[in-house]
Chains A and B, each alone.
Chain A
């Protein structure tokens, strides 16, 4: 089966610019997650979708971050405006609705804000 697809792999932007990341989960996976992983740390959940509804966005900085999952398939995460501290790898993960399965992560987008 195809894995979780993410693009772009790398992005360098200046602070105050905007950026968008795209994720296509594994077919049939109802649950989709966006994680932020800062160098040397574990992944931190930004937002969780189940189908096209938001389940948890309590740690999403909503003044600058937004995410959507139209039609319950692929998803986009946007940052506007970016700050230096947003430099991180943004990982998308998906999972079947059953909690017995682990997350399948995409390769991530490495964002550098200069």
Chain B
């Protein structure tokens, strides 16, 4: 079945440093979504990418979808303590029609 892997599993940064998490799928995706889950909270939808090579920005967050539509990345510029949480990608398989979540990257930010 479809597998979605995220690296790294954990990332500890100093406030102000940049952060990147990577998502890789074993199959070609029709779209990929990104979610943020704060400690003790539930996943909150951030964005969806659909097109090959697509790049979207939300303030300090930059999301990319690979040319082959099998990988994606989330980059945060100048992290803040409010960025703390676990970032999940969810890839939708072109054939299966359902999204599979990765196991997330947990970001901690030291003030």
Contacts and interface: CB of A to CB of B under 8 A. Distances in A.
A104 B102 contact: no
Nearest to B43: A105
Given A99-B31, A102-B35, A42 B44 contact: no
Contacts, number: 46
**Chain B interface mostly:** strand
Interface string B3-38: 010000000000000000000000000010101000
A94 B98 CA distance: 13
A99 B97 CA distance: 10
**Chain A interface mostly:** loop
Interface residues of A, number: 19
Interface in B76-97: 88, 90, 92, 97
Interface of A: 40-45, 48, 56, 91, 99-108
